[in-house]
Amino acid sequence: MVKAIIAPSMLSSDFANLASEAERMLNCGADWLHMDIMALHSSAVTECCICALQDGHFVPNLTLGAPIIESLRKHTKAYLDCHLMVTNPLDYVEPLGKAGASGFTFHVEASRDNWQELVQKIKSKGMKPGVSLKPGTPIEEVYPLLDGENSVELVLVMTVEPGFGGQKFMPEMMDKVRTLRKKYPSLDIEVDGGLGPSTIEAATSAGANCIVAGSSVFGAPDPAQVITLLRGSVEEAQKRS
Ligand SMILES: O=C(CO)[C@H](O)[C@H](O)COP(=O)(O)O
Ligand SMILES: [Fe+2]
- Give tens-digit pLDDT for 152-203: 999 999 999 999 999 999 999 999 999 999 999 999 999 999 999 999 999 9
Residues 6+ apart with CB under 8 A from 6: 29, 30, 31, 32, 211, 213, 227, 230, 231, 234
pLDDT of 57 strictly over 70: no
Residue 147 has what pLDDT?
A: 93
Given a contact cutoff of 8 angstroms between Cβ atoms, the answer to whether 73 and 100 are in contact is yes
Q: Could you tell me the pLDDT band of residue 50, with boundaries at 50, 70 and 90?
A: very low
164, 198, 226, 230: residue to mutate for ligand 1 pocket, most atoms within 8 A of CB: 164
Residue 52 has what pLDDT?
A: 42
Which one of 14, 31, 36, 91 is the catalytic residue? 36
Contact 33 CB / ligand 1 (< 6 Å)? no
Mean pLDDT, rounded, for 17-25: 98
Show the DSSP H helices in the chain as ranges: 18-27, 42-47, 49-51, 66-73, 90-99, 115-124, 143-147, 174-183, 200-206, 215-218, 223-240
Q: Could you tell me the pLDDT band of residue 41, with boundaries at 50, 70 and 90?
A: low
Mean pLDDT, rounded, for 14-20: 98
Residue 48 has what pLDDT?
A: 46
Q: Could you tell me the pLDDT band of residue 51, with boundaries at 50, 70 and 90?
A: very low
Residue 61 has what pLDDT?
A: 84
Contact 214 CB / ligand 1 (< 6 Å)? yes
What angle (nearest 5°) sits at the alpha carbon of residue 18, between those of residues 84 and 33? 50
Tell me the CB-side half-sphere exposure of residue 241, using CA atoms within 13 A.
Answer: 18
Q: Please report the ipTM that was assigned to this predicted complex.
A: 0.98
CA distances from 31 to 77, 96, 240 (A): 11, 20, 23
**Alpha-carbon span 47 to 60, nearest angstrom:** 19
Residue 60 has what pLDDT?
A: 81
Contact 194 CB / ligand 1 (< 6 Å)? yes
Is 147 annotated in the active site? no
Can you tell me whether residue 59 is helix, strand or coil?
coil
Residue 188 has what pLDDT?
A: 98
Given a contact cutoff of 8 angstroms between Cβ atoms, the answer to whether 83 and 34 are in contact is yes
Averaged pLDDT of the chain = 93
Atom of ligand 1 nearest to the CA of 195: 12
Whole-model pTM: value is 0.94
Closest CA to 202 of 167, 174, 231, 182: 174
Q: Could you tell me the pLDDT band of residue 49, with boundaries at 50, 70 and 90?
A: very low
Q: How far is the CA of 52 from the centre of ligand 2 (A)?
A: 22
Nearest ligand, measured from the Cα of 10: 1
pLDDT of 54 strictly over 80: no
Q: How far is the CA of 34 from the centre of ligand 2 (A)?
A: 7
Lowest mean per-residue pLDDT among 41-55, 64-78, 135-149, 175-189: 41-55
**Alpha-carbon span 154 to 131, nearest angstrom:** 6
User: Which residue CA neighbors atom 10 of ligand 1 most closely?
Assistant: 165
Per residue in 96-149, pLDDT tens? 999 999 999 999 999 999 999 999 999 999 999 999 999 999 999 999 999 988
- Indicate the CATH number for domain 5-240: 3.20.20.70
Mean pLDDT, rounded, for 45-63: 58
